[in-house]
Amino acid sequence: MLHYKKNTLLCFFISFLLLGVSTNVNADHTYKTSIVKKVLPAVVEIHAERGNMDAAMQPKERGGFKFRQPKGQQKNAPQGRRSPKQDPQHVGSGFVISSDGYILTNAHVVNNIFDGGKLIVIFNNDKAYEADLINYDEESDIALLKINNAEHGKVFEYLTWGETPELGADVIAIGSPMGQSFSVTFGNVSSLNRFVPNSAPFVPFIQTDASINPGNSGGPLLDTSGHVVGINTMILTGRNTGVGAGSVGIGFAIDGDYVQSTVELLMTGEKIRRPYMGIVFRPVKEEDYGNLWKLHEYGYGAYVQEIVPGSPAEGVLMVGDIIRQIDAKKIKWKLLATKVKTKKIGDIAHFIIIRDGMVIPIEFTMGEMT
């Protein structure tokens, strides 16, 4: 009798555990689908129709990083609402950021536009609009569009910005990879503040293992509240991996905080002017500090290797200087360029440097990159 009761209790306990697991899985599924349903109406597929000039450029592969959707038709392409074979023009992704129809995407999605070309944005309900290219920044790979033929008084659903996610956080990528419209993938934040070879050295990226492929470019990377944390931009592929051109689980999205600051400049419609120092720098080694070696902290400080003649740094900084702080905050060497780009031309930054074994404060006036 006692043995029977023990077995009954054990079965009940196992059933309880399985029920709990099942409930958690269902809750997680429901949560994810609710987020996707909320954000999908603000995501668009972008068709960049070429004008008079033959813009059938091959996708740029720079150092193994694929920046564009592959050119040409794909044999036996999976059938979808709009396959690459049906739409030979360049296809990418984007998302609405305001109720009056402003859209963000990557600059490389739309830079095939020439005289007579046009941009078409398509929503997940198949509603299509023409859009104008308002402004773009090729260095940051960010472009701002605006829908130009919406119904009078039309109000668009739009996405809002989130905080920079933590390492390991869940993220969602939405876009139209390989012409497969409005695909949704899930992943994690693999790293923050990545700087990718052959991209601008001041643009910080979020690395993610959410599946991203050509055509995802310009689409949003979202947190689990449905807020934008980045713009999906590129994947590691090809020569560096030896596994072909598809996703290998290493994707990069431009950090949302950086994107927001760039959007403010793009909204002016003017060419972006960037501050400039005029130095070449590297990480600091312990021996660079000399008798102040105890100040060495791995990853912090930037060693000045070279001064560009005629630059703002000439006569202010010297080769061998170690930049320790900017505006009373310790600086990581790989974030120096990003920190500089948050300044305005003519701004005065307060540096703490180490020169010839002495800690020295200096004032540095930001010049303009030409």
pLDDT in tens, the chain (370 residues): 545 455 555 555 555 545 555 555 555 667 788 899 999 999 999 998 766 544 333 333 333 333 333 333 333 332 223 333 334 466 899 999 999 999 999 999 987 775 567 899 999 999 999 999 999 998 889 999 999 977 877 899 999 999 999 999 999 999 999 888 999 999 999 998 888 877 777 788 999 999 988 889 999 999 999 999 999 999 876 555 455 555 567 899 999 999 998 898 899 888 888 888 998 888 888 888 776 767 777 778 899 999 999 999 999 999 999 999 999 888 888 788 878 877 888 999 999 999 988 899 999 999 987 7
End-to-end Cα separation, the chain, in angstroms: 89
Q: pTM score > 0.75 for this model?
A: no
CATH ID of 275-368, from 3.30.310.50, 3.30.420.40, 2.30.42.10, 1.20.1300.10: 2.30.42.10
pLDDT at 271: 80
Token digits for 145? 């569009």
| Inter-residue contact 281 to 303 (CB < 8 Å) | yes
Please identify which residue in the block is written with the tokens 């399985």: 18
DSSP lists the bridge partners of residue 302 as 283, 323
Nearest Cα to Cα of residue 56 among 117, 105, 106, 104: 117
Please identify which residue in the block is written with the tokens 């310790």: 330
pLDDT at 186: 94
| Inter-residue contact 182 to 45 (CB < 8 Å) | yes
Instruction: Please state, in angstroms and as integers, the Cα–Cα distance from residue 14 to each residue in 17, 22, 26, 28, 171, following that order.
Output: 5, 12, 18, 21, 32
Burial class (CB in 10 A: 0-12, 13-18, 19+), 302: buried
Residues with active-site annotation? 108, 141, 217
Token digits for 80? 């979808």
How many Cβ atoms are within 10 Å of 237's Cβ, its own excluded? 22
CA 28 to CA 170: how far, in whole Å?
12
